[in-house]
Chains A and B, each alone.
Chain A
Amino acid sequence: MVLSNLNLLNIRLIAPEIILICTALILLLLDLLVKRKETVAFVGVIGTLLSAYVNFKICALGWSGSILAGMFIFDGYANFFKLIFYINIILTIFISLKYMIIEKASFGEYYALLLFATSGMMIMSGATDLIVLYLGLELMALSTYVLVGLMRRQLRSSEAALKYFFLGAFSSAFLLYGISLTYGLTGTTNLREIAASLQTLNLTDSPILFLGLIFFIVAFGFKIAIVPFHMWAPDVYEGAPTSITAFMSVGPKAAGFAVLGRVLFDAFGDMQVQWAGILAPLSILTMAVGSIVALAQTNIKRMLAYSSIAHAGYILLGVITGTPEGLTSTMNYLFIYAFMNIGAFAVVIMLRSEGFKGEDLSDYEGLAKSHPLASALMLIFMFSLTGIPPTAGFIGKFYVFMEAIKAGYVSLVVIAVIFSVVSAFFYLRVVMYMYMKEPKGEVALTTSAPMGFVLAVTALTTIIIGVFPSYLLNFARFSIPG
């Protein structure tokens, strides 16, 4: 890269990421100086908001484009995902405050790592070069490994971190292998140039490149937890601090879809037939395993882990279509999923109190009697995850189903709707426990103002998008040109 490319005017397009990383570094220092971890969290939120402000100010000014010699791009697609990441981190910080104290794992590094992970995701969403993509992915992954194992006194937390690390490292190796195969054939790591050389070198039928493509799908499949690369998810989701589970079920998944979409559409757009052929059976498998295995879970975190696997299957439908609208439907789904899933996890966290884990489904028995409001919110999230109108979950599903049918995958959609009925059963079971059983004992909820804020935001968004989806749809649509 020539140095003259690095002029300051271009730097402004990665200012959001820079601000976020600087904030994270400040947090690390701040942690040494202040005792109250809430202060650290507060500064973290300010930094995130500043970064978000700068990001969308740049948007509003109409600046966009490719920088750093075409390695990084600031476009609507990346911005849409960044919005998801910003929402994800802010909501996560709010639900963590009290929870991490209860878990006796309230470290300042926690917030710094959240910021690092988020900046990694942002880099992923804007990466147009495989090397930058890898960089972002590793930044995200390494931070999350630590976050998962933060409750170091708990065996299952450490186990989860180790498991996640090993399998994550494994998937990184696949990614690197894929990158090197692609580089070997095309001589470039830039996505656009790969696409160009696919045509000029006539590589679309090359078996080696196909192998490279498979490696990409495997690597990203780990991040978005599709079957058969989902093995880590239930254990990690269960072992990690619940706030991190919420964070992980949305952020890295969305980031994984961001790079999956970017790589498949931008670089391998001409091989749509091939990758759709790989992804279609995987999505069926994902929906099937996620929905069916979730039926047998008694731990709510594990259940939500399988539910998030199943959702990855539905979200994948939008990618499979290979159309820009299909990708839009995927993004739309992820946005909605962020709210309903974090909302559900927020309720799970509320049940955790000093000396009470509150992770078992039976802990929800009769919750509606003692805590009607919390139960009503959980009810909304559960029905939304099922995809019952008038909640946002329905809009998300409807959109991907619509696009998949438009692209001709009718039988795939029929299978998907059948599994969404299967999944209804375990979501309903939570509602059933809350409303239709008698309470066994007194369950105390741990409430706080930030928690209330998160619940209000997520529940209202879930309902409002469900009834008036237009704004979100337009926003998602304008994020993708053409």
Chain B
Amino acid sequence: MEDIILNQLNYPILTVTVFLPVMGALLILFMKNANLIRWTTLIVTVGTLIVALPLLNNFDKTTYKMQFVEEHSWIPSWGINYFVGIDGISILFIFLTALLSILCVLVSWKAIETKVKEFHIAILIMEAGMLGVFVSLDFFLFYIFWEAMLIPMFLLIGVWGGSQRIYAAIKFFLYTLVGSVLMLVGIVVLYFYGGKTLDILVLSKLSYPFGLQCWLFLAFFAAFAVKVPMFPVHTWLPDAHTEAPTAGSVILAGVLIKMGAYGFLRFSIPMFPDATKFFIGPIFMLSVIAIIYGALVCFAQKDFKRLIAYSSVSHMGFVTLGLFALNPQGVEGGILQMLNHGIITGALFLMVGIIYERTHTRMIDDYGGFAHVVPWYAGFFMVFTLASIGLPGMNGFIGEFLIIFGAFKVKKLLGILSAIGIILGAGYMLWVYQRVFFEKLNPNYKTSGHHSVWDLDFREVITVVPLIVFVFWIGFYPNTFLSYMHSSVEHLIKNMDANAVAGKEYLIVQYIKEIFGWF
């Protein structure tokens, strides 16, 4: 096998990382005491992060090949293997997932009072599913993790969510399921086309006829576009993010929606290069619409969480724009922006969750003047607000800058339009900051004596500090993170150019003929 490097470590590190949370879930199945469950979950999530750490040291940054690979026969009669490994694209997401999971447990410490056991089981299964998606190198395995995640997420939103939780949970589930099952059909078609294998590396190397590529691209696009979510299938996101409990929102915004973009990067672009180029115009258009529309809608929001949710639509528009720019700056910016968005939006949801615990309202009108009563909180919030806007020196700037740079290289107009999105972003974020923290203190809360809102406690500070570290780390020295991706991204783009049918000038009629020839 030329595309993989056998596990450099002498133990199956990826398997241990992925299944440690499952073990933890099984363990707390037999526990009764709520605090014991919380501590166990915390230890398991921290343990998962620690177990994964050797990946960072032993990762070979000079190659695009899959590393830490494990392959075992799983369903031999279908030629399906348990096949895991990571490369420069996936490694950072492992750590993003592991980190955010810990923070989710911390932030739910007091917020979750009912069905504590079920909640923590759901979080742990969720973590395993997310990690599994990023390490799978077999389509079947990938799909199992991809879908299995729906169950805990559905429960997280539906059981511990806000007032409209049931509607949001079902909407989330059905939207994502529609996309996924279409992808499943695509996967099976690939299976037979590739000679009864679901090995992602093997399938990535094949070249497919143009018509087939288009259909498969669309089938996969259905799954990934819903997940990202791209305009116009984004409507589940505001509902789900808003109604989910804080931990659920953090996972959704931080990791789950990255999987769509990850799917584009891992499957759609390398496997269907011609179709990618064919559909690139509409994708750019949808991305730009998402950037600007998402930002504009933010101005109209009354609900704090909903505002952040819509800002995700806008930010994820940047990600898809960057990825499909198909040049090193764009793609690396896209990947980095995924991480950034996970950190920043995850943090913003954490912060909103913290204030919700005190005020039991998410309406921006019910806030006001909080800088007077909770100065530390306001300070932390300011950091994340500025990071979200993309202030130089913070992580948001690097990602967005690279993306706009990449987009500019493709088409100037794209760069200009997306830059407008950044300006709008500064607008709504600063405006909401003003309404929440400045002006007069909302009369519902007293300034002196017995406060009904109190500042961050130690646990909460611990929850947000790691994210602040990353905000500045990526902001000042992004190379720590970018260095992991260089080889993989370079390989991706080189492959893209090599695989694409060179100089094949198509008429639109020919295109359509070939596409429908496959139906």
Contacts and interface: CB of A to CB of B under 8 A. Distances in A.
Given A388-B151, A390-B144, A401-B184, A432 B178 contact: no
A468 B431 CA distance: 54
B460 to A, nearest CB: 28
A432 B188 contact: no
Given A388-B148, A402-B191, A432-B166, A421 B181 contact: yes
A446 to B, nearest CB: 24
Contacts of B77: 470, 473-474, 477
Contact of B148 (A372, A389, A411, A435): A389
Interface in B58-77: 74-77
Given A421-B174, A469-B75, A432 B169 contact: yes
A335 B250 CA distance: 40
Contacts of A469: 75
Contacts of A152: none
Interface of B: 74-78, 115, 118, 143-144, 147-148, 150-151, 154-155, 158-159, 165-166, 169-170, 173-174, 177-178, 181-182, 184-185, 188-189, 191-192, 519
A325 B115 CA distance: 45
A383 interface: yes
Q: Is the interface of B mostly helix, strand, loop or mixed?
A: helix
Nearest to A395: B75
Q: Which one of B118, B170, B177 has the greatest number of beta carbons of chain A within 10 Å?
A: B177
Nearest to B519: A411
Contact of A428 (B75, B115, B154, B165): B154
Given A417-B181, A418-B181, 8 more contacts: A388-B148, A401-B185, A424-B174, A432-B166, A432-B170, A435-B158, A468-B74, A473-B75
Contacts of B166: 432, 436
A388 B150 contact: yes
B151 to A, nearest CB: 6
A389 B147 contact: yes
Contact of B182 (A369, A417, A435): A417
Nearest to B73: A470
A425 B170 contact: yes
Given A435-B155, A436-B169, A417 B184 contact: yes
Interface in A374-393: 379, 383, 388-390
Nearest to A424: B177
B182 A470 contact: no
A420 B150 CA distance: 15
Q: Is the interface of A mostly helix, strand, loop or mixed?
A: helix
Contacts of A425: 170, 174
Nearest to B115: A368
A418 B178 contact: yes
B190 to A, nearest CB: 10
Question: What's the interface size class on A, roughly?
Answer: 35 or more
A398 interface: yes
A428 B176 CA distance: 14
Nearest to A429: B170
Nearest to A435: B159
Given A411-B519, A424-B177, A432-B158, A417 B185 contact: yes
A406 interface: yes
Contacts of B189: 405, 410
Given A413-B188, A417-B182, A388 B75 contact: no
Given A368-B115, A477-B77, A406 B192 contact: yes
Q: Which one of A402, A473, A477 has the greatest number of beta carbons of chain B within 10 Å?
A: A402
B184 A398 contact: yes
A414 interface: yes
A356 to B, nearest CB: 25
A401 B188 contact: yes
A86 interface: no
A421 B176 CA distance: 10
